[in-house]
Amino acid sequence: MRISLARARLELRHTFRIARSADEFRESVIVRLEENGIEGLGEAAPSPRYGQSAESAERALASIEGALLEPAGHIEDALERAAGRLAGEWAALAALDIALHDLLGKRLGVPLYALLGLDPGKTPPTSYTIGIDTPEIVAEKIREADGFPVLKVKMGLGNDREIMETVRAHTDRPVRIDANEGWTRDEALEKMRWLEGLNVEFVEQPLPAADLEGVRWLAERTSLPIFADESVRVASDVPRLAGTFHGINIKLMKCGGIREALRMIHTARACGMKVMLGCMIESSIGITAAAHLSPLADYADLDGNLLIRNDPAAGATTLNGKLVLPEGPGLGVTLREGPAANALERSSAR
């Protein structure tokens, strides 16, 4: 098997500001696996929150020989071997996981959702993310989100009330709040009580990841459901959160790919918890892989590709906010002509 890598610089439509960072662009690593004339695409979109970068993901992926992943149809075994080599580079593992599933679907001639036995008509709508910004830019982002039935609003800095007042001045659509660990316990209690009457579906990660006692304290004092993001990474994390959080946010780049995401979904269900499929800033490769799992989820926040100006791929789309899965085999994703596709060709030629 041949492995090709390409770095992709994803240019954001607006500065993407959350409680802990602000970015004009993000970088991901696109992976192509080639075996017997069939290609599988994957993507690593690492997050600095987990101590990873495009450089570290690319370095980890460069350590993988094609023979380590063979035979490609034995995905469980191939990924177990790769995980041992990648040393905790979860986004890099996700890239291989996605590419192997794409390759298998293409070999069998079926879309990934069919490979998993899922109904593509049961995809949920995705939220559209409104990052922290000035009232003028927030209003512009809301206009760009026209047609999406629900918004995800980032909070966690000093202008939370200003942001929500701007949102409500322009739309009465349901809102999901994401504080990205940005509040103290007292701040969270005050703000969540204020948000209770503002058509908010739930609040995501109001407190630092390790403060599970604080989340329990909040849940006893507020009526809004609370979802874990930074507090949960893999399936083994889920049981200890049951009874504290109402749901979890699963991200392929955080957990290591489709295989672990499925484990997380089933573990959360066994624990009586809701499931949301989320994302980093990703191209349509990573977003489409997660979208194929979305019939299993209660909620989707799969808009990372919509927040960038130069998506190097085409895949899942939306219709009135609802995720629409490609019908082609595997992921059903195609690379667009451009720097990433050219870089993959150069990598393959070495």
Query: In sequence order, what DSSP letters do the residues of 204-268 get, joined into one string?
Result: E--S-TT-HHHHHHHHTT--S-EEESTT--SGGGSGGGBTTBSEEEE-HHHHTSHHHHHHHHHHH
Largest CA distance in the chain: 60
> Residue 133 catalytic?
no
Q: Which residues pair with 300 in a beta bridge?
A: 126, 277
Give every strand in the sheet of 151-154, ordered side by side. 128-130, 151-154, 175-178, 200-204, 226-228, 247-250, 274-277, 299-300
Instruction: Check if the beta carbon of residue 126 is closer than 8 Å to that of residue 151.
Output: no
Q: Which residues contact 134 (CB under 8 A, 6 or more apart)?
A: none
> Residue 229 catalytic?
yes
> Residue 102 catalytic?
no
Write down the catalytic residue from 178, 181, 260, 282: 178
> Residue 251 catalytic?
yes
Write down the catalytic residue from 106, 191, 251, 254: 251
Residues in the chain: 350
Query: In sequence order, what DSSP letters do the residues of 89-128 get, joined into one string?
Result: -HHHHHHHHHHHHHHHHHHHT-BHHHHTT--GGGPPBBPE
Write down the catalytic residue from 204, 260, 301, 303: 204
Token pair 């439509």 in the structure block, residue: 13
Report d(CA 237, CA 80) in Å as an integer. 19
> Residue 204 catalytic?
yes
Write down the catalytic residue from 141, 152, 154, 191: 154
Catalytically annotated residues:
154, 178, 204, 229, 251
